[in-house]
Structure 1
Amino acid sequence: MGNLLGHWRVKEPSTVEECDSTWGSDSESDEPAAEEDSGISESVSPAGSERAAEDNGDSSHKLTDSPESPPKMKRSFYAARDLYKYRHCYPNYKKSRQPNEFLNLRFYLNKIPLVPDGIYIEEILTRWRGDYDKLEHNHTYIQWLFPLREQGLNFYAHELTQDEIKEFQSTREAKRRFLAAYSLMLDFYGIKLLDKSGNVSRSSNWQERFHHLNESQHNYLRITRILKSLGELGYEAFKAPLVGLFLEESLHRNTLPNMQHSILEYFVYTIRLPATRRRLLRYARRHYRPAHAFLWGPPPKRSRFKGGDDGASVGAGSSGIRAPAPTPEPQRRGDKSFISSSACSGTLVSSHDAVVCHDVSAEGMNTYTGMDRLEGVLIMKGEGNKYAEVVPL
């Protein structure tokens, strides 16, 4: 029995719907007003033929059968599956048999340089700030500055382990440098970190940096890594302010139009608390143009009817079948996001998927804050008093 349990693996989701629990835990009182649902496309819940195409590839869009029809956009299963694994702490993660040398932590303690460049963290933090050409064209440092429990493009960098994460979070010097590295990258993108709560705003040179960021789209892959690493190393609450700023700039101010699809397909879904994702997506949906092309929910209102003896409810999507709910995601105490609401225009442009597949793997001082409430859940804690499972009450 012990050997059987040792080889047990969690069944991974096979559709976008199974990967995304953002709206699955929504309550009727938490639903948006009826008029907000009028712009949702029925393609949010793809039917049989679309779902088959989704399972066979990770393209972010497909053409309809009619040559005269415009391209019909769809969500990327690659992105949904990748972020499902991240939010659920890599359910099929295999512990390495190699001794844990804590190389990421030692790098942040300035004891070893990053490989292959031979550069120490202190040199990066003190000499690279403002050197935008170096930050743009060097492609080996980002995996060391923002480590994950998954392999990046720099195969000299080392994946995080659970033990290393625990040790990192309890080491003040490492955490101080990690926040300095985060501030360094925000400055590169035209953003400044305002405080230790993760609030952010435009920097003084935001126009120049936003123009670069809008055109240099490989940085969207870097931002996804940064957001993931924030969550791994104890800064989950920092994500919503940054994602909120990007939504504001791309959808309302139209300063980062090329980033829209990456924000909605990737950045939002690095956030582990569904309530926070819902708030961000509702804001996005109010400002997204064209409204009918918004793919990220909320789904159409569910019609309830009796099914069998238990009176089960079924979703009213195009398939008529409600996808099974995935494993509940970890919940964190935290935050309440604020984003202003105004009309905007924008274009749906996706480059993030192409970058991932290719690489295989106003002037106003607007402040974006982050704070989420802990909804009614039962938290099952495991080793080290860390949450292992969250069960809705």
Structure 2
Amino acid sequence: MGNLLDNWRFKEPSTVEECDSTWGSDSGSDEPAAEDDSGISDSVSPAESEWPAGNNGDSSPKLTDSPEFLPKMKRSFYAARDLYKYRHCYPNYKKSRQPKEYRNLRFYLNKIPLVPDGIYIEEILTRWRGDYDKLEHNHTYIQWLFPLREQGLNFYAHELTQDEIKEFQSTREAKRRFLAAYSLMLDFYGIKLLDKSGNVARSSNWQERFHHLNESQHNYLRITRILKSLGELGYEAFKAPLVRLFLEESLLCNTLPNMQHSILEYFVYTIRRPAVRRQLLRYARRHYRPAHAFLWGPPPKRSKSRSGASVGAGSSGIRAPAPTPETQRRGEMSFFPASACSGTLVSYPDAGGCQDVVGESLDGYAPLASGMVGLEGALIMMLDRNDCSEAVSL
């Protein structure tokens, strides 16, 4: 019987298109579904997908260039599959047979230290803030501060379980310290947490910290983990403000240019609500350069050639962005205010736990702009869900 049940395990997607329902009709898209002929299915590293810079410093290939000389741009299947599993709450997740030790929760209750360093959470929160060298060079704490249901580089850290997640979300002391840990890491990156709704902005020393963050790219893996952990532990609504700030800084202000790839391949796709991903990607597409190299959608409409064959993006995998209707442009960033290089953002209602997002359904979540709720009501709803009244003082 056990072998028979194993055969019914969820089949993982095998292409980027299968991993990404952001623009599909199955995700509640507000745009008509369209086939994507970009040929995006192979895994490539960030280095392989960079544009070669010319002698004049302009790294943008021209549309008039011969296709055989254009670099073949593709999205990373590895990234798409990893974030697909996360957004769908690890469909092949096996429940641990180990006793319910709740080691992550006990760590946040200051009852056990992290392993192998033997440091308690209160010491990290009170003594490590502003100690940027320690936060940069110590690689064992991040898995304890931001636990996930997947194994990290610190094999002493324990993976979260569904039962532990529920217990964590109902424990005020743990949630208070978790927000303090999030604020600690934001400060390390040159960002400050403005309020209990997840709004963020540049900190006073942002120039120094952004310069470091732009050069210290291993921190992008940490940020991906932080975003995932926010969603697991009840702070889904905190993701979009941070991702939007990073998009603004990398695309408009050019303060974090090296982060562009990680934002679009990883950070955006940690967000479980397809509607919010679409808003962020439309914003990114509007400012991305070169515009025709934007690979993250929406997929272009296909037309028929005289021979009857579908005309798509071509063998290079590069496609020009589909035109955006005027009505969509007017509401393009309805979740976010226009604040170029300000770093201050507005969050949105919490998407809830995994039980509400399997299959990336939007059932039960009315659009932010509809009804009589409005932004103020949306924030109240989010605060009520997350019990942020017990959040750390900021």
Task: Check whether TM > 0.5.
Answer: yes
Cα–Cα, structure 1 residues 63 and 207, in superposed 2: closer, same or farther, change >3 Å?
Answer: closer
Query: Can you give the 5+ residue segments of structure 1 that lack an aligned partner in the other structure?
Result: 305-314, 320-334, 343-361
CA distance in 2 between partners of 1:243 and 1:209 (Å)? 17
Letter in 2 for 1:263: I
Describe the superposition over 1:106-162 as per-residue Cα deviations: whole angstroms up to 9, x where unpaired. Answer: 000000000000000000000000000000000000000000000000000000000
Shift of 1:303: 6.3
CA distance in 2 between partners of 1:68 and 1:107 (Å)? 55
Residue equivalent to 2:45 = 59
CA distance in 1 between partners of 2:270 and 2:170 (Å)? 23
Residue equivalent to 1:186 = 186
Cα–Cα, structure 1 residues 110 and 74, in superposed 2: closer, same or farther, change >3 Å?
Answer: same
Shift of 1:73: 1.6
Residue equivalent to 1:149 = 149
8 Å contact kept, 2:273–2:360: no
CA distance in 2 between partners of 1:283 and 1:389 (Å)? 24
CA distance in 2 between partners of 1:218 and 1:388 (Å)? 30
8 Å contact kept, 1:299–1:317: no
CA distance in 1 between partners of 2:180 and 2:361 (Å)? 36
Residue 346 of structure 2 is aligned to residue 369 of structure 1: yes
The SS at the match of 1:207 is helix
Cα–Cα, structure 1 residues 293 and 92, in superposed 2: closer, same or farther, change >3 Å?
Answer: same
CA distance in 1 between partners of 2:50 and 2:188 (Å)? 37
Residue equivalent to 2:284 = 284
Cα–Cα, structure 1 residues 220 and 124, in superposed 2: closer, same or farther, change >3 Å?
Answer: same
CA distance in 2 between partners of 1:317 and 1:392 (Å)? 30
Residue equivalent to 1:338 = 336
TM-score by length of 2: 0.75
TM-score by length of 1: 0.75
Describe the superposition over 1:332-369 as per-residue Cα deviations: whole angstroms up to 9, x where unpaired. Answer: xxx96315277xxxxxxxxxxxxxxxxxxx6x5x4111
Residue equivalent to 2:105 = 105
Residue 235 of structure 2 is aligned to residue 235 of structure 1: yes
Residue equivalent to 1:173 = 173
Alignment of 1:13-32 (within 5 A): 13-25=13-25, 30=31
Alignment of 1:2-13 (within 5 A): 4-5=4-5, 7-13=7-13
Shift of 1:97: 1.6
Shift of 1:58: 4.0
Letter in 2 for 1:186: L
Letter in 1 for 2:45: S
8 Å contact kept, 2:23–2:31: no
CA distance in 2 between partners of 1:30 and 1:67 (Å)? 29
8 Å contact kept, 1:268–1:277: yes
8 Å contact kept, 1:190–1:209: yes
Letter in 2 for 1:257: P
Alignment RMSD (CA, Å): 3.3
Count of aligned positions: 325
CA distance in 1 between partners of 2:68 and 2:4 (Å)? 54
Residue 209 of structure 2 is aligned to residue 209 of structure 1: yes
CA distance in 2 between partners of 1:63 and 1:191 (Å)? 27
8 Å contact kept, 1:276–1:372: no
Cα–Cα, structure 1 residues 93 and 238, in superposed 2: closer, same or farther, change >3 Å?
Answer: same
Describe the superposition over 1:34-75 as per-residue Cα deviations: whole angstroms up to 9, x where unpaired. Answer: xxx9xxxx9x6334xx64xx1xx44354699x9971422210
Shift of 1:13: 0.4
Residue equivalent to 1:252 = 252
CA distance in 2 between partners of 1:234 and 1:112 (Å)? 23
Shift of 1:392: 6.8
Residue equivalent to 1:354 = none
The SS at the match of 1:164 is helix
8 Å contact kept, 1:15–1:77: yes
Describe the superposition over 1:167-188 as per-residue Cα deviations: whole angstroms up to 9, x where unpaired. Answer: 0000000000000000000000
Shift of 1:8: 2.0
Shift of 1:98: 1.4
Cα–Cα, structure 1 residues 263 and 392, in superposed 2: closer, same or farther, change >3 Å?
Answer: closer
Cα–Cα, structure 1 residues 109 and 253, in superposed 2: closer, same or farther, change >3 Å?
Answer: same
Cα–Cα, structure 1 residues 82 and 73, in superposed 2: closer, same or farther, change >3 Å?
Answer: same
The SS at the match of 1:73 is coil
Shift of 1:293: 0.9
Residue equivalent to 1:128 = 128
Residue 249 of structure 2 is aligned to residue 263 of structure 1: no
Cα–Cα, structure 1 residues 62 and 179, in superposed 2: closer, same or farther, change >3 Å?
Answer: closer
8 Å contact kept, 1:248–1:339: no
CA distance in 1 between partners of 2:181 and 2:24 (Å)? 35
Residue equivalent to 1:322 = none
8 Å contact kept, 2:200–2:344: yes
Residue 75 of structure 2 is aligned to residue 89 of structure 1: no
Cα–Cα, structure 1 residues 116 and 166, in superposed 2: closer, same or farther, change >3 Å?
Answer: same
